[in-house]
Each structure stands twice: as C-alpha cells, then as structure tokens.
Amino acid sequence: MFQLDDKFLDDIGLGSLPNDQKRAFLQHIYEELELRVGTRLSDGLNDQQLEEFEKIIDRDQSVIEGWLNTHAQDYTNDEVFKRMQAALKLDSSDPTLKAEYVATKWLEVNRPDYRDVVKSVLEELKAEITSNRDSILGSIAENQAEGDAEFEQQPPTPTA
C-alpha cells in the first residue's frame, strides 16, 4: 500500500529534515492520516456499524469471534490472513492477529472503497504538506536555531 518512511519524506520534499525530527513528523502524519481516514470512512456508516467497528478496533474478543463465526469461519486459510500472520509473525490464534484481520475484512465488507479512501486522503495530505513545505522547514530550522542558542548561552558545567 504505502510506507511512511524516509522515501515518503523525500517524495514530499522533506527529506532534509534532521533525523530527530523525521520520526516525530512521520508519527504526526500517521496520526493525522488515521484521523482523516476514520472521519471519511465513518461518513458512510450507520450507528450500529460504527459501534461494531469500534469494538473490533478496541479488541473486544466476543465481537471479533462473533464476526469470524458469521463471516469468515475458515479465516486461517484466507490468503489475507496468511500474509498478515507472516508479516506480524504471530500464532494463528493470537488475538492481535485476529483483530487486525477482522478489522481489515470488516472494512472490505462494510466499506469496500476503504483502500480508495485511504489513497485519496493520503494524496490530499501529501498535497497539503507539499504546499506548506517551506514554512514547515522554516519553523523547524527556527526551532533548531533557538535550541542551539539556548545551548550556547548555558555556562559550562564544572568538572572535578
């Protein structure tokens, strides 16, 4: 699908961020993407669907097991499940693996366009970041300079 990594930062013109800023900025992008995608996906769902999906995300095992029994009794043989299991390196009975699988399959059933929504929101976010790239880099450089100035103003610590 997509990776939020150094290549992503290069693609949007922020590859020159200081290393300590890259991780924080990528985390911020991930959180913003998650919020925007969630908001967009919820627009097409009723209250019952939203409640069910929230329980799946919150790892309510009774809801997860119920969903598997109703929609995917043979889930361990599903290629999606096998790929997730290989990627996460978890036992097939692991609750985390089941929850991730059910969340993905639930979206396929209830919002079959979810991949398109993620792609669209990511493109919008990339365009927004790219159009503000100079101010982002400028504010980071400004904060860096302020930190350097504070460091230079502090008296040296005496050593014994």
What is the DSSP secondary-structure string of 113-133? THHHHHHHHHHHHHHHHHHTH
d(CA 33, CA 115): 13
| Residue 13, burial from CB neighbour count under 10 angstroms (0-12, 13-18, 19+) | middle
Q: What is the pLDDT of residues 60-87, one digit of tens each?
A: 999 999 999 999 999 999 999 999 999 9
pLDDT given for residue 82 in this prediction: 95
Nearest CA to 74 out of 105, 40, 43 is that of 105
- Percent of the chain clearing pLDDT 90 (strictly above): 63
d(CA 160, CA 153): 22
Per domain, the residue ranges of the chain are 1-43, 46-122
pLDDT given for residue 134 in this prediction: 84
> Does position 160 have pLDDT exceeding 50, yes or no?
no
Q: What is the pLDDT of residues 92-114, one digit of tens each?
A: 999 999 999 999 999 999 999 99
Question: Which pLDDT band holds residue 146 (cuts at 50, 70, 90)?
Answer: low
Q: Is-above-0.75 flag for pTM? A: no
19-42 helix and 114-131 helix, angle to the nearest 10 degrees: 130
Q: Using the 8-state DSSP alphabet, how is residue 73 labeled?
A: T
> Does position 7 have pLDDT exceeding 70, yes or no?
yes
pLDDT given for residue 159 in this prediction: 47
